[in-house]
Amino acid sequence: MFRPAIAADGKPFEVTQGTIDEISSSPDRVLRRSGWESYADGHIGVQNALAATLGTAVKQAVFSTRVRRHSSTLSASLTASNLPTEVFDSLLGVFERNLPTWHRYWELRRRVLGVERLGPWDAAAPLGATSPVFTYEQSVEWICGSLAPLGDPYVETVRRGCLDERWVDVYPTAGKMGNAFSGGSPGTSPFIMMNFDGTAVALGTLAHELGHSMHSYLTWQSQPQPYTYYSMFVAEVASNFHQALLRVYLLETVTDPVIQLAVLDEAMANFQRYFFTMPTLARVEREVHERVGRDEGVTADWLGERTADLFAEGFGPEVEIDRDRLGITWAQFSHLYAPFYVFQYATGIFAAHALAAGVIAGEHGAADNYLAFLSAGASLYPLDALRLAGVNMTGPEPVEAAFAVLSSLVDRIAALA
């Protein structure tokens, strides 16, 4: 489906869904661009079929909405979790107002990488000249150190799970799939599958998945069987909360500028996925549902044009835009087939940073309230569980606070690079 990517020295690299992230983060710019173009072209080759599939999924959502007399597909999608549509609207409104923060970051990235024009294929390029490598054991100790505000029982559970009880399938092996996830069920350990390679990204991934695992662990310990799960709206809170605590801890305790820059690079990669790509796709999705709701067709050409427009707006005027290949980004995320799923990745990161700020500052009751949130499972609706933890998700304040964190990270990179 994808032609090989070609490195600067002419060496070919296989492009698959499992290898594209590694290619995208290579220090070889020729390889990055070749891989990005190959991955986009492979999707362009089947764009009409993918557009028809997406259009059919949205038509089904519209039909179900009308039959059940909801006001919109957005309202229908959020009803099960008792979420008001204002949560979605507030997120995208704040995101659109704060796009200049992203423009500032892309321009900084261009200067750090030393290129005349930044391209989308440069978005994941390493900012440092060298990439530090950490042992798994050192990574566990750093993560445990960052989690100290949550108390000894929490920290010791994480340490025991990582080092003694084999929660984590740590290293790459032949035939092992890519990516990472936390899984399990009541009565088992909250196991983690990942491929630890010692990079700052792997360190962040381990912290992220341990957040999911501890969310599951405390829910299973606290709730009866019917409530031993949690909704997607809160699923990414605990994982991003761990990463937020870890970054602050490392930036305060590790003085090596090479490690600090690697930590900041990992932080921006996480923000880019959750707080740039996902909200932009949510903007595309909103227009798709509105268009189908008016009984208008959705074609690959229209999807490509609107996706290119919205991503170009997010990248700003200084980024080189290949409209056809940037426009196919909608097809590279199957999340869009589940109505109004992608925006919930963004709500996870801004709720996580709002909660982490209180815990890091040592606010009275902040840690206990956060642990109560982790233990609530499905016994509370998502907004009520987050209110218990100390954040109100119906207004713009948590999103604005997350953009303030993003802006501070950009400032730190500018000071180091």
198: which 2 tokens? 């010692």
CA distances to 97, 236, 370, 393 from 360, in Å? 27, 19, 12, 20
- Letter for the amino acid at 37? E
- Letter for the amino acid at 385? A
Bridge partners (DSSP) listed for residue 13: 5
Catalytic residues: 209
Crossing angle of helices 343-360/397-416, nearest 10°?
A: 80
Burial of 153 (0-12, 13-18, 19+ CB in 10 A): exposed
Q: Among 352, 395, 408, which Cα is nearest to 94's?
A: 395
- CA 374 from chain centre, in angstroms, equals 19
- Distance separating alpha carbons of residues 299 and 305, to the nearest angstrom: 10
Q: Which residue has the tokens 């949130």?
A: 373
- Distance separating alpha carbons of residues 381 and 385, to the nearest angstrom: 6
Element containing residue 109 per DSSP (H, E): helix 99-113
Strands of the 181-183 sheet, one edge to the other? 168-169, 191-193, 181-183
